[in-house]
Structure 1
Amino acid sequence: MTISMYQTAVPVTVRALENLAHVLKKGAEHAAVKSVTDQTLLQTRLIPDMLPLVKQVQIATDMAKNGVARLAGVEPLKFDDTETTLDELQARIARAVEYIQTFTPEQIDGSETRAITMKTRNGELNFEGQSYLLDFVFPNVFFHCTTAYNILRESGAELGKQDFIGKA
């Protein structure tokens, strides 16, 4: 049995973001009990030279939605990084999931060899679709989701492995 690029990209990124929303919800519940403000939690970092929670969620959503869009051969929808509350971060995640789910198998299947070029602050990155998804998009999505989880866990939220991976 073969797995398609659509089956690989869309359900995996959607699940990662939905699990991130769940983890963020549990973090918000903990913060409310402990009277921790949204602003404090959003700016929490694991260590000083790492990005805060708000940036971890922004990057995770950007990686997921932009990755799927590029596989489909379309310019990714731009999200402004203006979230200042946990509810706004939840809305961002929901918006990213909704956007990802607009793509069809016909747009993404066959993108294994699609040329993908990204401009970054360090120059251009060039990929073929499959390596872009497996070697760049997925590691980045999971890194930032994991880091958000770790920030919330370190902040005292009662989170476990099942919260991160979700239901099978």
Structure 2
Amino acid sequence: MYDFSIMPIMGGFRCLRGLIDTAATHVKAGKADEQAILEARLYADMDPFRRQIQHASDAAKACAMRLAGRTVPSMVDDEASFEDLIGRIAKTEDVLAQVSPADLVGSETRVIKLNLRRKWVTFDGLSYVQEFALPNFFFHVTTAYAILRHNGFSIGKMDYLVDVGHRRNGN
């Protein structure tokens, strides 16, 4: 379960770090405004770039802690810069580091109940990861990517799939 859940999330964070680094490079080159990118969104009723990173963080720590049968720690959503968002990712990775592969042995059958839009949904651990946790996490990673693409950033599929290179090249 650890390899199936935590490892892909760590890869998603490598992607998000790369996206934030690309955005910061554009800002330093005078090609973009940091606050404008932090607040950029695909559509008026969607959350902005900074919130996509926060949501990904929340989804990641919830996945790890719920599978381990622990309380999900809360984080204040006060990030106001790219540096702050990188820090949020690092704090979330610290939470994930508190969970070992041994902590998730048997978690595929753990009962996980979530209140989704005022309706309680019950999962076993495996279904939770497959049907909710990973799709939710990667929805926010993908949306962050799409916001930057929509705003003219020169990023492509391999910027999103950066973890494939990381894992296959042993980096």
Query: What TM-score, normalized to structure 2?
Result: 0.90
- The whole-number CA distance in structure 2 between the counterparts of 1:136 and 1:163 is 24
- The whole-number CA distance in structure 2 between the counterparts of 1:85 and 1:121 is 30
- The whole-number CA distance in structure 2 between the counterparts of 1:117 and 1:58 is 22
- The whole-number CA distance in structure 2 between the counterparts of 1:161 and 1:88 is 25
Work out whether 1:158 is the aligned partner of 2:150: no
Number of positions where the alignment pairs a residue of Structure 1 with one of Structure 2 = 164
- Tell me the amino acid that sits aligned with residue 138 of structure 2: F
Aligned-pair identity in percent equals 35
1:45 CA drift (Å): 0.5
Contact 1:30 1:156 in 2 (8 A): no
Any stretches of 5+ residues in structure 1 without a counterpart? none
Contact 1:63 1:140 in 2 (8 A): yes
Map residues 78-157 of structure 1 onto 2, 5 A cutoff.
78-157=74-153
Work out whether 1:34 is the aligned partner of 2:33: no
* CA deviations over 1:43-74 (Å, ceiling 9, x no partner): 10111121110111111111011111100000
- Tell me the amino acid that sits aligned with residue 24 of structure 2: A
Any stretches of 5+ residues in structure 2 without a counterpart? none
Work out whether 1:6 is the aligned partner of 2:2: yes
Map residues 52-71 of structure 1 onto 2, 5 A cutoff.
52-71=48-67
Work out whether 1:49 is the aligned partner of 2:27: no
Quick check: 94-103 or 83-92, which moved more?
Answer: 94-103
Q: Considering only aligned residues, what root-mean-square deviation do their CA atoms show, in Å?
A: 1.4
